[in-house]
Amino acid sequence: MEFFNKLKENDLYNKWFRTPYSYVTGAVLLSLFQIVMLAATGSPWGVSATFANWGAWLYQLVGGSVEKWYYFTGPGAPGSLNALEAGFMSNSGTMLNLGVIFGALLSTLLASQFKIKKIKNKRQIVAAISGGLMMGYGARIAYGCNIGALFGGISSLSLSGWVFAAFMFVGAVIGSKLLVKYFM
């Protein structure tokens, strides 16, 4: 316990782990990570396509078959049966997504910001589940989430990234107003 008390008083720890970074610093770091990702893998940073693979692996685990699914076999298919056959731990997207998940947890813990909040009512649960499902569905029909379709699209000079940005902004405004009106 004494170690943690000393750590909280350490100026270097407070500067790098407890104090929030500015938006500019975050943007520069994200841009650098995108460049490294593009150089290392040859493709822009993406998150949601890997979730489709995770779902397929879970479906196969309970005895399902995805070999005839258009997503994995159709012309220009975004998914790949080869990626599925390689397995969960051999997939670079899996490693990236696990890194994001555990990195977010680690940064929250290091900043002493981890909290388990009490669920206020059932409407909050319904809103969270339906919002997550709509975001997941939207990410697949938009051919990417805010990372792949927006960040990857804009950084590779694609018009689709800017169109995605405009509609994501409109959706965020509408979603925020609905959230405040019905769930706050």
Task: Please tell me the chain's helix, strand, coil percentages from 3-state DSSP, rounded to the nearest 5.
Answer: 75, 0, 25
Name the pTM for this structure: 0.71
Does the pLDDT at position 60 exceed 70? yes
Q: What's residue 1's pLDDT?
A: 65
Distance CA 118, CA 121 (A): 9
Q: What's residue 12's pLDDT?
A: 80
| Cβ atoms of residues 55 and 11 within 8 Å | no
Q: Counting beta carbons within 10 angstroms of the beta carbon of residue 25, is it exposed (0 to 12), middle (13 to 18) or buried (19 or more)? A: exposed
**Tens digits of per-residue pLDDT, 130-182?**
888 888 888 877 777 877 788 778 877 889 889 988 998 998 899 889 888 87
Q: What's residue 79's pLDDT?
A: 66
Which segment, 83-92, 121-130, 161-170, is predicted with the most confidence on average? 161-170
Token pair in block for residue 122: 């059932």
Opening angle at CA 33, ends 135 and 77, nearest 5: 50
* pLDDT > 90 fraction of the chain, expressed in percent and rounded: 11
Kind and range of the H or E run holding 176: helix 159-183
> What band does 108 get if pLDDT is binned at 50, 70 and 90?
confident
Does the pLDDT at position 6 exceed 80? no
**Tens digits of per-residue pLDDT, 13-46?**
777 777 788 889 988 888 888 888 888 877 777 7
